[in-house]
Amino acid sequence: MSTDTIVSLPDQSTARVPKVNFLSKENGLLSWLLTGDHKRIAILYLISITFFFFIGGALAGLIRLELLTPQSDLMATDTYNKVFTMHGIIMIFFFLVPSVPATLGNFFIPMMIGAKDLALPKINLLSWYLYMAAGILALYTMMTGGVDTGWTFTTPLSTHYVNTNVLTTGVAVFIAGFSSIFTGLNFIVTIHKMRAPGMTWFRLPLFVWAHYAASILMVLGTPVLAIAIVLVALERTMGIGVFDPTKGGDPILFQHLFWFYSHPAVYIMILPGMGVISETISTFSRKRVFGYTAVAFSSVAIAVFGFFVWAHHMFIMGISNYSMLVFSLLTMLVAVPSAIKIFNWAFTLYKGSITFETPMLYTFGFMGLFTIGGLTGVFLGTSGTDIHLTETYFIVAHFHFVMVGGMLMAFLAGVHFWWPKMTGRMYPEKISQLAAVVTFIGFNLTFFPQFILGTLGMPRRYASYPAEFQILNVFSTAGATILGVGYLLPVLYLTWSLKYGAIAGNNPWQATGLEWQTQSPPLTENFPEIPIMDHEAYDYEWLDGQKEKEVVIVG
Amino acid sequence: MARKKKRWSLSDRPVIVTGVAEGAHHEHLPYQRHHFETIAQQNDATNFAMWLFLLTEIMFFGGLFTAYLIYRNWYYPAFVSASHQLSIPLGGVNTLLLICSSFTMAMGVWSAEMKKKGALVLCLILTFILGTGFLGIKTVEYGEKIEKHHVPGIHYSLNSFLYPDSDEAARVAKDHALPLDMARHTEIYFFLYFAMTGMHALHMIIGVAILAFMIARAQAGAYTTGHVTFVENFGLYWHFVDIVWIFLFPLLYLISRH
């Protein structure tokens, strides 16, 4: 910790944002709606997912307000069911799944591998349109009565017992799934076929490796969700009997098909976040990521193991003791690659020159919260404790520690880290550090009490609860308020910085990735000429060498 | 501090664009899109994307095949009796049609590569006819099921399985009457039959529609300029749909015929 900051900005009195860049190249709404530029599509995605995040967030706020008191007094119990269902569906399918891949991944994967664009720009744009169509359909569903099955569409509840908009929601999720498939497919093709000369697999930034692993999951897992939803729709409309025990069908089959996607889906959500963390942790401790190869392969290992643990969601649903044993064991296995990542990041910090800019604060938040979330996952993967803890607030807390504490922190770390590259301007440092701290405090206050509530036995998905749980619920609701402030702040100051932020220059963080070696915001074709990669990833000595050369040229 | 214009290069080595890339860059064939360095890279990338897409299709059908395997294991007698309601001659002809259409499609890709416009158009038209023929026969088969009330849902009828003597197909296959409990599970078989062949037919319809589009374009000379990726990738799709049928035919029609 020899220096306070690594930020190096150009002289503000003379610096200008480059006149020619991907934002200024064309003007008008159509130039955005018909664009093939991966950077513009990323911006479109960033705006849309932020919109859906705040809708999902507002619903979360309603849930916490209802749970402020033990009685179901703010809304009717039916309404409560719809609110938590829509919260889950919007947050998972319209925020978490596309969050990092469709925004930061879309923007930076081509730049990191030295390409001009993703391999299939039209498919990329199509994926955004599918996402928007699905999102609007989901909102329409919400306005016209909503859906109350929970985001899991559990049969036979979803097929036989509820009268809400299961079909339209199903169609929305189906379409959103194809949007995600196209994103993943595009990434895999791009990473395989579009790398710049000299950019070998083991020179790829770990961000790219993480996205590669997540893309495999998107491509292989999502179609299974699609077929599961088609079957639910057929069962509901025509009564075909596939999940209906009275006709010989088996509702457990739905669970298998659903979780075959939806467990890997949590890795679709977290892996890109882990990619962000690898970048920030290296940049802000000025060291190559410790055990590069191990971290790269642990991403792939998570993707592979992730496909063989789905039944741990079904321990109380009547699967056999033997499958419980096997799936329990496999679930423990998936903790290993996650731990490899955490340990390697910790070793990257060791003897590094650490500085505490905002992205790094979010990164620390990620490491702590993800570790708690991950370890409580081991409790839940153990069949014995799972039977006690499942369907309680322990699950809710575990999931939110990983997804909100982990993924959302990583997303915010990434957005702050690459903001100067995307917009050409810095965000204001002090207030954003404050936002990071507020988020961390608010998060812990919201979700830590839920672990305790869970072990005490408070069930999830009810609008009312016994009075003795109230104190912890009040903590949780208070925390949610703080958390809301923590999420609103970045929207305000990031928007502000678009006009008033300091000029960032090419490489404000002194980072090594190819994306930092070109102007900010980048040109439409990313680089003036296709770069040639002649060094390893995270090679800070190479970067220092570059700087010395620059000085010579200037002299 | 004077702002310097930084030369873009990762090291002091000048940026060398390799020979092939350089050539292609200057010529820039009309169908090469701007973000690819070479046409070979473009073809590679699109073919690879097509293979990946087919992989997602396998996973999509995989869900149905899983359901099939489980229920066939549980309700084997019901599956046998229900499969006797399908017409093997019709299914067999359809299999033949599809295999022929795969051949004509492969010849179409070859003609495109050889820049033979007439042959390409002919092959595409043949493929189109064979594909439409398949769908026509499928319609006849579906019609039969509707007449016999073998479509799952509220109108589903168990008569053919409870009283096999009343049903010609069951008589021919010498089916025994199933107990009510097992007979009810024939509905699951027919659901799977309709879901799997229906999903397959949907892919066929999409394929035939694209074929019609391609015939028009091929007559305008679109695929015989040396840029055959589209025909090639469509060929992959068509073969894939064909292969799915090759699995469906024995699984649905030939359960007890060995």
User: What are the tens digits of pLDDT across the range A68-112?
Assistant: 999 999 999 999 999 999 999 999 999 999 999 999 999 999 999
Contacts with A38 (C-beta within 8 Å, 6 or more apart), sequence order: A106, A107, A110, A117, A118, A121, A124
Q: Would you state the pLDDT for residue B118?
A: 94
| Residue that the structure tokens 């509220």 belong to | B154
Contacts of residue A535 in chain B, CB cutoff 8 Å? 10-11
CA distance A323 to A315: 9
Contacts of residue A254 in chain B, CB cutoff 8 Å? none
Which of B1, B4, B5, B6 to mutate: most A Cβ within 10 Å?
B6
Q: Would you state the pLDDT for residue B28?
A: 65
Contacts of residue B21 in chain A, CB cutoff 8 Å? 530
Q: Would you state the pLDDT for residue A46?
A: 97
Query: Which residues in A128-154 are b (16+ Cβ under 10 Å) and which e?
Result: bebbbbbbebbbebbeeebbbbbbbbb
Contact check, Cβ <8 Å, A241/B3: no
Q: Does B223 touch chain A (CB under 8 A)?
A: no
Contacts of residue A221 in chain B, CB cutoff 8 Å? 59
Contacts of residue B13 in chain A, CB cutoff 8 Å? 532, 534
CA distance A225 to B131: 29
- Bridge partners (DSSP) listed for residue A526: A523
Q: Would you state the pLDDT for residue A555?
A: 42
Contact check, Cβ <8 Å, B8/A528: yes
Evaluate if residue B13 carries a pLDDT over 80: no
Q: Does A245 touch chain B (CB under 8 A)?
A: no
Contact check, Cβ <8 Å, B59/A224: yes
Contact check, Cβ <8 Å, B188/A10: no
Q: Would you state the pLDDT for residue B7?
A: 43
Contact check, Cβ <8 Å, B60/A224: yes
Select from A118, A231, A239 the Cβ nearest to the Cβ of B154: A239
At position A379, the amino acid (one-letter code) is F
Contact check, Cβ <8 Å, B56/A197: no
Contacts of residue B55 in chain A, CB cutoff 8 Å? 219-220
Contacts of residue A120 in chain B, CB cutoff 8 Å? 45-46, 49
Q: Half-sphere exposure of residue A346, counting CA atoms within 13 Å on the CB side?
A: 9
CA distance A144 to A527: 48
Q: Would you state the pLDDT for residue B14?
A: 41
Regions of chain A where pLDDT drops below 50: 1-2, 555
Q: Does B3 touch chain A (CB under 8 A)?
A: yes
CATH superfamily to which B37-253 belongs: Cytochrome c oxidase, subunit III, four-helix bundle (1.20.120.80)
Structural domain boundaries of chain A? 29-554
Contact check, Cβ <8 Å, A15/B35: no
> Which residue of A lies nearest to B42 if distances are taken between CA atoms?
A119
Q: Does B53 touch chain A (CB under 8 A)?
A: yes
User: What are the tens digits of pLDDT across the range B222-238?
Assistant: 888 888 999 999 999 99
CA distance A156 to A174: 19
Q: Would you state the pLDDT for residue B91?
A: 95
Contacts of residue A517 in chain B, CB cutoff 8 Å? 8, 10
User: What are the tens digits of pLDDT across the range B16-70?
Assistant: 444 444 444 445 677 788 888 888 899 999 999 999 999 999 999 999 999 999 9
Token pair for A444: 């812990």
Q: Does B178 touch chain A (CB under 8 A)?
A: no
Q: Are A89 and A144 in contact (CB under 8 A)?
A: no
Structural domain boundaries of chain B? 37-253
Evaluate if residue B9 carries a pLDDT over 60: no
**Cis status of the peptide bond prior to B152, with omega within 30 of 0:** no
Give the helix/strand (H/E) hosting B126: helix B117-147
A:510-529 residues touching chain B, CB 8 A cutoff: 514, 517-518, 525, 527-529
Q: What is the mean pLDDT of chain A?
A: 93
Q: What is the mean pLDDT of chain B?
A: 87
Query: Longest C-alpha distance within chain A, in Å?
Result: 84
Contact check, Cβ <8 Å, B56/A220: yes
This complex has an ipTM of 0.90
> Which residue of B lies nearest to A551 if distances are taken between CA atoms?
B4
CA distance A229 to A49: 23
Look at residue A483 and give its three-state secondary structure.
helix
For residue B36, count other CB atoms closer than 10 A to its CB. Answer: 22
Rounded to whole angstroms, what are the CA distances from B235 to B42, B213, B232?
18, 14, 5
CATH superfamily to which A29-554 belongs: Cytochrome c oxidase-like, subunit I domain (1.20.210.10)
**Cis status of the peptide bond prior to B77, with omega within 30 of 0:** no
Q: Would you state the pLDDT for residue A549?
A: 77
Contact check, Cβ <8 Å, A247/B11: no
Q: Does A482 touch chain B (CB under 8 A)?
A: no
Q: Would you state the pLDDT for residue A390?
A: 92
- Return the closest-CA partner of residue A36 out of A111, A140, A124: A124
Contact check, Cβ <8 Å, B35/A186: no
A:128-187 residues touching chain B, CB 8 A cutoff: 181, 185-186
| Residue that the structure tokens 């006797």 belong to | B84
